[in-house]
Amino acid sequence: MRRWSSLVLGLAMVAGCSNSEAAVSPAPGVAATPRCGTVNIAVNPWSGYAANAAVVGYLLESELGCTVATQELSEISSWAGIADGSVDVILENWGHDEEKKKYIDNKKVAVELGLTGNKGVIGWYVPAWMTKAYPDITDWTRLNEYADLFRTEESGEKGQFLGGDPGFVTNDATLIENLELDYTVVYAGSEEKLITAFRKAQSRKTPLLGYFYEPQWLLSDVKLVRVPLPAYKVGCDADKDEIACDYQSYDLDKIGRKAFVDSGNPAAAFIKNWTWTNDDQNQVARDMTQNGLSATQAAKKWADAHRATWEKWLP
């Protein structure tokens, strides 16, 4: 999903701890107790993921004494990091069945760590004002009639469809081709730029058709209306070149490096136990992006107000 800037710079990086599989030296006759050490978390380029990393990282450090190291990576690069050992966990995975087959089933270097509790939705959206001015704008079969309305310098003779970060999960170019729509994808370049574009489109009442998703804090500020495409059915996206159906809904999940999980590291157990809601994520993401809080401040604010929730995650 969804350019990464400095949203998690507030996460403390305590140097000098041993790696994830290290263990405390036991007393004679006592079994070794795994300790946390350094936990390497991939951070993908959208604010909701940054909120995940902020809260999980804060609690790993404050409650389990871990050192948290974050890496700003694309979704696919995060899976490669699992394989080469540089990443211990992906906190928010959007599908990626091909990567699951490659790294979990075949290479056996990764494992699923359960659901995050977040519900993921990807789709095509227009600002709400357009549905009043053009009542049938959400009928995808009529989009070609409005292509000229969405033309920009970047899209040339075709209507513009605004994408986000090129690294996000997206079928848009294929959908446009297979649904025979007179549009072309122009990438905003980052989540922040995509949000800015939708804000301006709503406030200035300028036409915009683009990619968006939830969980995302913006949707409580700016009303966007989804343009339903041909209904998703299981298997309709199996051939990536033939996709002509809407995006599926996702129960977002977590992925761990198998050696990290098998080591008995308490951080792995904590992350497996961690679940929260779209509202939780949006609250923290909003504090980090709109309310001037650092990642640590936003995480602490959430943790202080939800102790009963996160205490259940402790191993």
Q: What is the pLDDT of residues 136-195, one digit of tens each?
A: 999 999 999 999 999 999 999 999 999 998 888 799 999 999 999 999 999 999 999 999
What's the token pair of residue 263?
């080591």
CB 42 within 8 A of CB 73: yes
* Average pLDDT taken over every residue of the chain: 90
The model's pTM is 0.83
Fold of 120-226: D-Maltodextrin-Binding Protein; domain 2 (3.40.190)
With the C-alpha atoms ordered 296, 301, 304, 305, is the resulting torsion angle positive or negative?
negative
What's the token pair of residue 112?
């699923």
- Positions of CATH 3.40.190.10 in the chain: 23-117+252-313
pLDDT of residue 138: 97
- Positions of CATH 3.40.190.100 in the chain: 120-226
pLDDT of residue 168: 83
CA angle 179, 120, 143 (to 5 degrees): 25
Cα separation, 34 vs 295, whole angstroms: 28
| Domain at 23-117+252-313: CATH code | 3.40.190.10
Q: How many CB atoms within 10 Å of residue 32?
A: 11
